Amino acid sequence: MSSLHTLPRSGASYEEVTRQVDELVDGMTPEQSGKLSSTAFWGIGDALQIAKETHAKFFSWNALFTFQEGSAAKIENDVLDICIDLVGGDEQSRGNLTSGGTESNFCALHAMRNWAREHRPDINVPEIVAPYSIHSTVHKMAKVLDIKVVTVPQLADLSADVAGMQAVIGPNTIGIATSAPSWPYGCVDPIETLGHIAIENDLWLHVDACVGAYIAPFFRELGEEIPAFDLSVPGVRSISGDLHKYGYAPKPLSTIIWRSQAEQAYHYIPVTEWPCGLYLSQGFVGSRPLAPIAAVWALMHHLGHEGYVANAKKLLDIRNAIIDKVEAIDGLTTWPTHGPLLQIAGEDLDIQLVVGAMEQHGWRLLGVLDPPAIHLTIDVLSESSLEKFLADLETSVADIRAGKIDTEGLLTYGGVAAEETAPKWLLSAVEIMGVDH
């Protein structure tokens, strides 16, 4: 007998399927338990409603066809104009909407490689230089594009080693990839210095600001010191910024912003070699949902600049409350970061045990392995959840000291939490790759 789940011969009633769907929803991590990791960015307070309603209204449209739809084109134009403005661009700047940070980074590296093919035809195996902290998706996309990534170890304080990066620029280097902030360590790289280096060496500087692009302007307004990283920095040619992170768009939605049309010129992949004439899509993917773009349009116009600042203030208060508490717990410390990511490391404690203990209290957490730390994406937790999180952290440490915890937690992204509940693709993937999970 096949173990495949097959299409039921006849459908169940609306009520029955709704009951089953609700059961599936109940099986998901409660929103607040993963709000500092996997369930972050679910919308902002009352504005969530307008985003959900707008999403439902645009449920059936395909954004591949914005060339036929004036309303859809207006929605995309407005959202991209706002994004360009937020990352320090002007009328000369250009932007494209994509499905996420992965696609935005792909578009940047793809354009960079095409640019290099024209400007540096002597290079056969193009290379980019990046700090070790660069996001995995830059490596993934470089593999797709046959670009070699030369990574440079972080300095002792976990910041990017600019001198080290400069030292490995060689005859095959076409660009520099850098982060604002980096996912693992939460800091913005010294992008002004890297901008000078890029200009001096005629290299393409790409900033992966998937996390920072749409929160940094509001944090700065609240007095946070965030190093310059956007189009105000000479030498930066492209920036990826995720709307589905701190822009609070429903997934999937990100942006790739180009300094000017001169950079965007290397982005498009027009196809005419088929029976239907010109095929031109905005990014790498074809069909994509219009609903998230419309939802963020509604959110942006409902919240306005002041609404995003007010949300940023809540994030800062939560981040600072966590820092204060963690620093007061003997054995734990936080890393200094720029913005909304926060890492909690153990001083004389195994932080993986802390994750294990926190899981027993119902918290879903992500981590960094090198060096080990809990990795928080700060989002708006309810007051009671924040109190519970902080109290559970204190109890977890006390329980570890009392020898009551022996289960380590800290999954990597390809980690299998439990074979019985794991997706088949993942089990198959780990089998194919022979990796130990």
Ligand X SMILES: Cc1ncc(COP(=O)(O)O)c(C=O)c1O
Footprint of ligand X on this chain (CB under 6 A)?
A: 100-102, 105, 135, 137, 179, 183, 208, 210-211, 242, 254
Q: Considering beta carbons, is residue 134 or 332 the nearer one to ligand X? A: 134
Q: Considering beta carbons, is residue 33 or 377 the nearer one to ligand X? A: 377
Question: In whole angstroms, how close is the CB of 128 to ligand X at the nearest point?
Answer: 15
Q: Considering beta carbons, is residue 103 or 399 the nearer one to ligand X? A: 103
Q: Considering beta carbons, is residue 66 or 254 the nearer one to ligand X? A: 254
Backbone angles phi, psi at 57, to 5 degrees: -65, -30
Q: Considering beta carbons, is residue 116 or 207 the nearer one to ligand X? A: 207
From residue 287, how far is each of 61, 81, 136, 284, 290 by CA, in Å? 10, 22, 25, 10, 9
Cα–Cα distance for residue pair 206/112, rounded to 1 Å:
9
Query: Which is it for the CA torsion 49, 54, 57, 59, positive or negative?
Result: negative
Q: Tell me, what amino acid is at 352?
A: Q
- Cβ burial 14-31 (10 Å sphere, 16+ → b, else e): eeeeeeeeeeeeeeeeee
The continuous run of DSSP H or E covering 78 comes out as: helix 70-86
Q: Considering beta carbons, is residue 189 or 359 the nearer one to ligand X? A: 189
Question: In whole angstroms, how close is the CB of 371 to ligand X at the nearest point?
Answer: 19
Q: Considering beta carbons, is residue 84 or 130 the nearer one to ligand X? A: 130
Q: Considering beta carbons, is residue 152 or 187 the nearer one to ligand X? A: 187
Question: In whole angstroms, how close is the CB of 208 to ligand X at the nearest point?
Answer: 5
From residue 228, how far is each of 97, 120, 179, 217, 432 by CA, in Å? 23, 29, 11, 10, 43
Q: Considering beta carbons, is residue 185 or 389 the nearer one to ligand X? A: 185
Question: In whole angstroms, how close is the CB of 181 to ligand X at the nearest point?
Answer: 8
- Enter the tokens of residue 27: 């099986």
Nearest residue to ligand X, using CB?
A: 101
From residue 273, how far is each of 236, 282, 285 by CA, in Å? 34, 18, 18
Cα–Cα distance for residue pair 221/235, rounded to 1 Å:
24
Q: Tell me, what amino acid is at 422?
A: A
Contact 112, 206 (CB under 8 A): yes
Q: Considering beta carbons, is residue 377 or 396 the nearer one to ligand X? A: 377
Question: In whole angstroms, how close is the CB of 247 to ligand X at the nearest point?
Answer: 11
Asked, as a colleague might, if the bond just before 371 is cis with ω within 30 of 0, I would say: yes
Cα–Cα distance for residue pair 38/33, rounded to 1 Å:
9
Contact 105, 208 (CB under 8 A): yes
The continuous run of DSSP H or E covering 109 comes out as: helix 101-119
Strand locations in 162-305 (E): 173-179, 204-208, 236-242, 254-258
Question: In whole angstroms, how close is the CB of 310 to ligand X at the nearest point?
Answer: 24
Report the chain's terminal Cα–Cα distance, integer Å: 29
